[in-house]
Amino acid sequence: MEIFSDRMHRMAEQVAGVAWVVAMVLAVVVSALAVMHSGRMQETAAQVLMSQGDTLIRVLEAGARMGHGGGGLFGLGRVMDELVGRRDVEAVAVLDHNLRPMAVSARSRRVIEGLDFASLVPEPFPKFRILTDTDPVLFVVHRRFRPLPRALTQLPERSGCTDPGCGQWVAVVVLDARDYLEAGRHDRHARAVAVLTGGALVVLGAVSVFWRRRVRGLQEAMARQAQLALVGSLAAGVAHEIRNPLSSIKGFATYFAGLFAEDSREAAMARLVVHEVGRMDRSISELLDLARPFRLVRAKQEVATLCHDAARLVAPECASQGIAVEVRVPSGIIVFWDADRIRQALLNLLLNAIHAMPDGGSLTLSARGGREGVEILVEDTGHGIAPEHLERIFDPYFTTRGTGTGLGLAITRRIVEAHGGRIEVQSRLGVGTTVRLVIPAGSADMEDAQDG
C-alpha cells in the first residue's frame, strides 16, 4: 500500500509538471496568435469598403466623362443620385482641383454637414478616413481622377494654371461604417477571449506548479513523519534500558570520585565518567523530545522578553569565546506561544551559532512583526554551512560537529511547525549563517494545540 501511495504521488507530480509545461506553451501560442491577428477583421473590413468605394469612384469617373460628351454635370448628377439610392452609400460628391464641391448628392443634409471637404488630401490612388463624430459613423473614400482624356486635360495648364491638380477632379464616396465598426468589435472580442484564454492557461500553470510543490511538500512531510516514527520506536524501546544502567554508572562514578584526592588522576577519571553519563542522558532526553508528541501550552508573551531571556542564557559562553551579542527586538510585540518551547528553539539556534564561531565573531538576535506573523532572525559571522549540507541540516542525527547529537535543528523545526510557522536557513561559507523563523502570533482564544 505504501509503495502504491508513493507511485501515485510521483505520478501526480509528473502530471502536474507536464500540465505546467503544456499550459505555458499554449499560453505563449494563444498570445502570439492574438498579437498576429489583432485588428485583422477590421483591417479586412476597411479593405473591402475601400475597394467598394473605389469601384463607385470609377462609376463617377465614367459618368463625368459621359457628361463631357453631352450630358454635362446634369448627367453626372443622375449617376450620383442612383449611387446614393444604394443601401450602404450615404453620399457622393465631385470636387474640383481646389476641393470646392461641383456636385453633391446625399441621403440627408446632416451627412453633408458632417463632411469637411477642405481637409481632404487626395491622391491618384484611393484613400479613406473614418468620421466618428457623425451619426452614423462614416467611412469616406476619395481619389483624384481625370474627367477628360489626358491630351485634353493639358489645356488648362497651357492656359497658365500651374497647380499639379489642374484638370483633375476629386471623387468622394461616403459609406456607412457599420461593417467597419462591427469588425472592430469582433477584433476586440477576439483579443479579450485570447487574453482570457491565455490568463486561464497561466492560472492553470500556476495551479499545477502550486499542486506540484504541495505534493512535494506532502511527500517531504510524510518522509519526516516516517523518520520520526522510526526514531520514536527506537527511543521508546531503548531509553528505559539505557537510563537505568546509566544511573548506576553515574552513582558509582560519583562514589569513587569521593574516595580519592581532589587532584588525583583517579578522581579526574571518575568526574569524566560522570560528565559523559550526563551527556548521554541529555542525548536520550533530546531523542525522546523529538519522537514523542507534545502539547503547546500557549500563553500571552512578549517577544522581546523571550529573546532577551535566551540571549542571557548563552551570554557567559559568548563572553568566553569573544563573541559580541546584540539583541534588536522592539518592545510591544505580543504573541500567544508556548514560551518554554520557543525559548528552547532559540537556545538551540544560538548554541549552533556559537559553535560556528570558535575564534569569536558577532551574534545578532532580532525580531519584528509582519503580515505572516513574527519574524525572528539569528545571524552569525561563523564559518557557514556547505551547500551540500544545507538540505540535510534538519535531519535527525545529522551533524558536522564531533560532539553534537544532530537533534537540535530537528527539534527546533518541530517546535516552529507546531506553532504553524516555518524555518529558513541561508548560509555562505566563510561569511556566516542566517536562520529565519516566521511564526504566527496566535490569539488569546486559541486552544492548546496537539502536535502530531
Domain 40-150+170-176, CATH class in plain words? alpha beta
pLDDT value, residue 154: 45
Radius of gyration of the chain from Cα atoms? Answer: 44
Q: Start-end ranges of CATH 3.30.565.10 in the chain?
A: 296-452
Specify the pLDDT at position 238: 65
CATH code 3.30.450.20 region(s) in the chain: 40-150+170-176
Read off φ and ψ for residue 436, nearest 5 degrees: -115, 120
- pTM passes above 0.75: no
| Cis peptide leading into residue 124 (ω within 30°) | no
Using one digit for the tens of pLDDT, what is the confidence trace for 347-389? 999 999 999 999 999 999 999 988 889 999 999 999 999 888 8
Q: What is 296-452's CATH number?
A: 3.30.565.10
| Residue whose C-alpha is closest to residue 112's, from 122, 120, 101 | 101
Q: Which of 31-35, 160-164, 287-291, 350-354 has the highest mean pLDDT?
A: 350-354
Q: At what angle do helices 339-355 and 303-321 cross, to 10 degrees?
A: 30
Query: Is pLDDT larger for residue 172 or for residue 446?
Result: 172
Task: Determine if the peptide bond prior to 136 is cis (ω within 30°).
Answer: yes
Cβ proximity of 368 and 435 under 8 Å: no
Interval 259-297: pLDDT, tens = 888 888 888 888 888 887 887 777 677 666 666 667 788
Q: Which residues contact 414 (CB under 8 A, 6 or more apart)?
A: 290, 451
